[in-house]
Amino acid sequence: MPLESKPVTPKIEGTQAARSFTRLKSLAQLPAKGRVEHTGYIQSVSYSAPHQAPLLTAVVVDRLGTGAPRRGTVPHVRLRFMGQKNVPGIKPGVKIQYAGMVAPVDQIPTIYNPRYVIVPVPRG
């Protein structure tokens, strides 16, 4: 069976499987604090300055923009990868399933060092 015809179901598993995560359908359901699991799209990626400790930050939203001007704030979460200058697969437009402990940092929901899986998007 060719690789393209096999269905791929991404799952975040491992030692934290026994811990309970709140599965979110939308970032509008994001709690102020707690363990969450969600699938969304990376909107933007930023890197730390050369003289600072390595840090990669990705902003995740439910769906990518349409190009129309935004009205109001779009629900989003910030994923921070501490000690990383580059994380394979983390770039704008990528669909990602992630899990971790969310907490407000500077009033922005943030997850440090999340578990993640890049979700393959079928090409039409």
Spans of all domains in the chain: 35-63+73-114
The more confident residue out of 86 and 4 is: 86
* Closest C-alpha to 109, from 49, 24, 52: 24
30 pLDDT exceeds 70?
yes
Residue 109 half-sphere exposure toward CB, CA atoms < 13 A: 21
Percent residues over pLDDT 70 in the chain = 78
Q: Evaluate whether the domain defined by 35-63+73-114 bears CATH number 3.40.228.10.
A: no
Q: Mean per-residue pLDDT for 60-88?
A: 83
Q: Mean per-residue pLDDT for 46-59?
A: 94
**pTM, 2 dp:** 0.80
